[in-house]
Amino acid sequence: MTRSSNNRPPLVTLITIALIGVLVGTLLTSYILGRRYVRLARSHEVVVRHDVSGSGSWYKLDMILDIVAQKYVDEVDPEEVTDAALSAALLSLDPHSVYMPPVELDEAESQLAGDFEGIGIQFNVPNDTATVLEVISGGPSEKAGLLPGDRILKVDERAIAGKRFPQDSMVRLMKGPSGTRVTLTIDRQGTVFPVEIKRGKIPLHSVDASFMINDRTGYIRLSKFSMSTYRDFVEAFGPLLESGMQKLIIDLRDNVGGYMDQAIYLAQELLPAGEMIVYTEGRKFPREEIHSEGKGRLQDVELVVLINEFSASASEILAGAVQDNDRGLIVGRRSFGKGLVQEPVYFTDGSGIRLTVARYYTPSGRCIQKPFTDDYEYEAYDRYNLGGEAYSGEGLTVDSTQAYKTRLGRTVYGGGAIIPDIIVPVDTTRATQFYIACNRKSTQMRYAAWVFDKHPKALAAIDSYPAMDRFLESLDLPSAFPAFARNRDGIELKEGEWAETAPYLLPQLRALIARYSKLGENAFYKYYLEIDDVLKKAIDAPPIAQ
């Protein structure tokens, strides 16, 4: 619905206010200087030249939007045009300076805040139907009686099952303000019934998994750096220390970052007193250094940090601090390369911007930010091109003119991103045609859901890994899964193909099935990491000689 031009707030006023807070931070001179028009007569038209001499480019933008509001052939929405102008203006600066309308800003803030308002479940969509994986303890869905394995057919009156309904759209339908209600139509082992849920605050933990890999090595996987990350991290490593942990592997793969202060707090737990963690510097921001206080509880624990091409921002700050101070080894693949300080600016209409004001530098002086190339947003994906660095490591080149030294004198390279001490390329040699065909149809995920349908009570009762191992053994996966793939998806095994596929596929199946038990995400990662080459390198990596 468009607004009447009579009721529309003056667009020139809207954009002037926005530009005061967003782009210049000083008063515009639009109305002080006024307008001077020079009319030039032509045979069939009158051309009006708007003189902007002496008034600057900001006034030109203001003027253009005002002219659009007054003369455009169709009715325009001032807010929509203003938002588009602001988005374009910020995009011209760098890929990470962005304007966010109220809805987008609220969603982004809730993601980083570590909580959101909704119903409190985790689900996946193995076969065009959302299947509940986990019901968050103490959340609204647990109180309403939802159980793992429940299939969601409708959200209110909106059917979401049996069709290619986008998963993010499902999430938006279920989320909502605390106190509001939503009705889910549930299919539980063939019985269909409605469940009314009163939405509430749902904590979003940033620790996906934490457990002991062996007698001396602990593992913590961090999915993001939200407001609660440090608290979640402390709660995770406490039991590991009590279990005798002498070595800790922090998994930051696919962690795109978040709040910088949370990365600083984690680094404080790891580094001895006086070591630099990071410094920032920008055109209007003088160099500011952050140093460790030496009060952390993990200073004497051997350390390895895992990264990949989608580890960014706060993840790179933490990895760079560990590497440059020779506190531990970095294992995996080159990180994304986002090292920009983003300052939030908020407006009274609920919108806001994130504006780049400085860059992050590691203790040795390396700039984390990679260059703004034409393929900047897709550069990390390009590493998976045939023969690219993700597969062989051979595509990775370093800028020898940007060589830096760690605290102990090891050479590290700048030019953007964090280059691991131990590079582990993606191994594609185990991907048989059978495995690729199953991946294309998500056969593994649907098989896990099918197993839960057949054994819901047995899986719900499992609360230990020995019990999980016995249950998985009883399924006879080497025979059962190929039969499922053949009967359900028409995927046939070629002679001798299972022997090549099984060592890679079976751990995935065990992980997906175990996720439906009380062991949850810990079980998923514990079983899946059996085939994780990066983790294997991390477990075997020796400590840095101090």
Q: How far apart are CA 82 and CA 11, in angstroms?
A: 8
Contact 152, 171 (CB under 8 A): no
Q: How far apart are CA 514 and CA 452, in angstroms?
A: 10
Q: How far apart are CA 307 and CA 380, in angstroms?
A: 13
Catalytic-labelled residue, pool 62, 83, 232, 324: 324
Catalytic-labelled residue, pool 30, 223, 313, 335: 313
Catalytic-labelled residue, pool 224, 247, 338, 537: 338
Contact 153, 186 (CB under 8 A): yes
φ, ψ of residue 284 to 5 degrees: the values are -105, 5
Does 338 qualify as catalytic in the annotation?
yes
SS3 for 280-327 is EECCCCCCEEEECCCCCCCCCCEEEEEECCCCCCHHHHHHHHHHHCCC
Kindly give, in sequence order, each residue whose CB lies less than 8 Å from that of residue 467, ignoring residues fewer than 6 positions away.
none
Q: How far apart are CA 371 and CA 176, in angstroms?
A: 39
User: For the stretch 151-189, what's the b/e string if a residue is b when 16 or more beta carbons lie within 10 angstroms of its beta carbon?
Assistant: bbbbbeeeebbeeebeeeebeebbbbeeeeebebbbbbe
Does 536 qualify as catalytic in the annotation?
no
Contact 228, 114 (CB under 8 A): yes
Q: How far apart are CA 207 and CA 222, in angstroms?
A: 5
DSSP E strands, 371-448: 403-405, 411-413, 422-423
In whole angstroms, how far apart are CA 141 and each of 110, 125, 166, 385?
A: 19, 18, 21, 43
Contact 243, 219 (CB under 8 A): no
Look-up of token digits 């509880």: 297
Does 324 qualify as catalytic in the annotation?
yes
**Beta-strand relationship, 352-361 and 98-100:** antiparallel
Q: Record the tokens describing residue 254, joined without a space.
A: 């696919």
Give the active site residues: 313, 324, 338
